[in-house]
Amino acid sequence: KAGVTQTPRYLIKTRGQQVTLSCSPISGHRSVSWYQQTPGQGLQFLFEYFSETQRNKGNFPGRFSGRQFSNSRSEMNVSTLELGDSALYLCASSWGRGPSLTATNEKLFFGSGTQLSVL
Amino acid sequence: KQEVTQIPAALSVPEGENLVLNCSFTDSAIYNLQWFRQDPGKGLTSLLLIQSSQREQTSGRLNASLDKSSGRSTLYIAASQPGDSATYLCAVRRAGTASKLTFGTGTRLQVTL
């Protein structure tokens, strides 16, 4: 069973540009959440999508946005990049709500991340 | 606001030692707690998940305990091996917050030969 796939693995952008990151969840998983990891702030929650709807959002500016498609694949977009946006962006998938709530179903499975460098 | 702290921040032990990693959280209204390991530049691998109604979970050489009332969890690693070297993170999920996890600061573990 394929894991969570994130593309691209590495990205280098300059300030002011925009970027789109992609995440393909584990087959059958309907929830996709995004996290930003930096040495200074650690792992911080960006947002979560379930069945194409954003159902939770972290404390990030509006430059950070996302969406989810009908096949549960998700993208996140960062516009007007700043130097401080340099980070490892991680995507995680889970069942979200069923088929039955068990400990296994509640686990989040993470991708390898996209390392974004803003110059 | 939930805050999660992990002690120690870094730990170096010789191979074969048993060790304990600590995680504390300020808000006891959690749904579950999950332990992850992260290798440098990589994503997170889920190790153990403890529901709020449970006291502990075991997987192989790993045992995680949860004391919700005191806001603490421990990850016990038996007979450590060099392959256990990684950063270990605990994360709590608050009731009613879907998949939003609040992560701890992490413990960087090095197991030496």
**A57-91 pLDDT tens trace:** 999 999 999 999 999 999 999 999 999 999 999 99
Q: What pLDDT, on a 0 to 100 scale, did the predictor assign at position A99?
A: 46
* Torsion angle (degrees, nearest 10) of CA A11, A7, A33, B2: -40
Matching residue, tokens 């977009």: A77
Q: Do B105 and A42 touch (CB under 8 A)?
A: yes
User: Using the 8-state DSSP alphabet, how is residue A27 labeled?
Assistant: T
Given a contact cutoff of 8 angstroms between Cβ atoms, the answer to whether B47 and A110 are in contact is no
Mean pLDDT for the stretch of residues A87-96 = 91
Q: Does B105 touch chain A (CB under 8 A)?
A: yes
Retrieve residue B8's tokens.
Answer: 């120690």
Beta strands A10-13 and A114-118: pairing type?
parallel
Percent of chain A predicted with pLDDT > 90: 76
Each residue's pLDDT tens digit, B7-16: 999 999 999 9
Beta strands A19-24 and A74-78: pairing type?
antiparallel
Residue to substitute from A102, A106, A114, A116, interface B, most B β-carbons within 10 A: A106
A98 pLDDT above the threshold of 70: no
* CB-defined contacts A:B, below 8 A: 69
For residues B78 and A78, give the distance between their C-alpha atoms in angstroms, rounded to a whole number.
43
Q: What pLDDT, on a 0 to 100 scale, did the predictor assign at position A106?
A: 76
For residues A91 and B106, give the distance between their C-alpha atoms in angstroms, rounded to a whole number.
18
The C-alpha of B99 sits at a distance from chain A's nearest C-alpha, in angstroms, of 7
When pLDDT is cut at 50, 70 and 90, the band that residue A105 belongs to is low
All residues at 6 or more sequence positions from A18 whose CB lies less than 8 Å from its CB, including other chains? A77, A78, A79, A80, A81
Q: Does A9 touch chain B (CB under 8 A)?
A: no
Mean pLDDT for the stretch of residues B64-72 = 95
Q: What pLDDT, on a 0 to 100 scale, did the predictor assign at position A104?
A: 53
Q: What pLDDT, on a 0 to 100 scale, did the predictor assign at position B98?
A: 60
Given a contact cutoff of 8 angstroms between Cβ atoms, the answer to whether B44 and B28 are in contact is no
Matching residue, tokens 């296994």: A104
- The count of residues in chain A is 119
Q: What are phi and psi of A18, to 5 degrees?
A: -120, 160
Each residue's pLDDT tens digit, A34-63: 999 998 899 999 999 988 999 889 999 999
Mean pLDDT for the stretch of residues B34-55 = 91
For residues B59 and B7, give the distance between their C-alpha atoms in angstroms, rounded to a whole number.
22
For residues A76 and A47, give the distance between their C-alpha atoms in angstroms, rounded to a whole number.
9
